[in-house]
Chains A and B, each alone.
Chain A
Amino acid sequence: MKFVASINKALDTLLEENDEVIFYGEDLADPYGGAFKVSKGLSSKYPSTVISTPISEAAIVGMAGGMAIAGLRPVVEIMFGDFLALAMDQLLNHLTKYPWMYNHRVSTPVTIRTAMGGRRGYGPTHSQSLEALLSSIPRLKILSPSIYHNPGEILKHCVLHDDVKIFSEHKMLYTMNLIEASNPPDGLQIQSNSNPYPTVRLSNCEFEPAELLIITHGGNSVLVEELMLELLLEYELATECILPSIIKPFPLEDIVRSTGSPRAILLLEESPTEFGWSAEVIAQLAEGNYLDQKRVIRIGARNTPIPSGAALEADVLPSKEKILTKIKNVFNL
Chain B
Amino acid sequence: MVNSSQSELMYHSMVRIRIFEENILDLFSKGLLGGTTHAYIGQEANAVGVITALNPEDIVISNHRCHGHYIAFKHNPYALLCEMMGKEDGLCAGKGGSQHICDDNFFSNGIQGGIVPLAAGIAFAVKRKPENKIVTVFIGDGTLGQGVVYETLNIISKWKLPVLLVVENNRYAQSTKIENNLAGSITARFSAFDIPNTELSTFDCTEIFESAKPIVEKIRATSRPHALILNTYRFASHSKSDDGRDQEEVDIWRSNDPLTLHENKLSTEVVKSIRNHVEEEIQNAVDLAIKAEPAVLLDGRDY
Let me know if B123 is at the binding interface, CB within 8 A: yes
Let me know if B158 is at the binding interface, CB within 8 A: yes
Let me know if A59 is at the binding interface, CB within 8 A: yes
Interfacial residues, chain B to chain A (CB-CB below 8 A): 91-93, 95-96, 100-104, 107, 109, 111, 114-126, 147-148, 151-152, 154-155, 158, 302
**Which stretch of A94-102, A128-136, A194-202, A323-331 is in the interface?**
A94-102
A70 & B125 in contact (Cβ 8 Å cutoff) = yes
- Which residues of B have CB within 8 Å of A104? 302
Known: A58-B148, A66-B118, A102-B100. A89 touches B125 (CB 8 A): no
* Cβ contact of B151, chosen from A22, A56, A71, A103, cutoff 8 A: A56
- Which residues of B have CB within 8 Å of A103? 91-93, 95-96, 102
A22 to B121, CA, bound (A): 11
- Which residues of B have CB within 8 Å of A105? 92, 102-104
Question: Which B residue sits closest to A66, measured CB to CB?
Answer: B121
- Which residues of A have CB within 8 Å of B126? 70
B158 & A65 in contact (Cβ 8 Å cutoff) = no
Interfacial residues, chain A to chain B (CB-CB below 8 A): 22, 53-54, 56, 58-72, 74, 89-90, 93-94, 97-98, 100-106
Question: Which B residue sits closest to A56, measured CB to CB?
Answer: B151
Majority secondary structure, A binding face:
helix
A64 to B125, CA, bound (A): 10
A102 to B93, CA, bound (A): 8
B104 & A59 in contact (Cβ 8 Å cutoff) = no
B122 & A56 in contact (Cβ 8 Å cutoff) = no
B121 & A70 in contact (Cβ 8 Å cutoff) = yes
B148 & A59 in contact (Cβ 8 Å cutoff) = yes
A63 & B109 in contact (Cβ 8 Å cutoff) = no
* Cβ contact of A66, chosen from B101, B120, B154, cutoff 8 A: B120
B114 & A94 in contact (Cβ 8 Å cutoff) = yes
B148 & A62 in contact (Cβ 8 Å cutoff) = yes
- Which residues of B have CB within 8 Å of A59? 116-117, 120, 148, 151-152, 154-155
- Which residues of A have CB within 8 Å of B101? 102
A69 & B109 in contact (Cβ 8 Å cutoff) = no
A-B contact pairs, 29 of them (CB 8 A): A22-B124, A53-B155, A58-B147, A62-B114, A63-B117, A63-B121, A63-B155, A65-B117, A66-B119, A66-B122, A67-B124, A67-B125, A68-B121, A70-B125, A70-B126, A71-B125, A72-B125, A89-B111, A89-B148, A94-B114, A94-B117, A98-B102, A100-B302, A101-B92, A101-B95, A102-B96, A102-B101, A102-B107, A103-B91
B118 & A62 in contact (Cβ 8 Å cutoff) = yes
Among A89, A94, A102, find the residue whose CB has the most chain B CB atoms closer than 10 A: A102
A101 to B151, CA, bound (A): 26
Question: Which B residue sits closest to A74, measured CB to CB?
Answer: B121
Question: Which A residue sits closest to B109, measured CB to CB?
Answer: A94
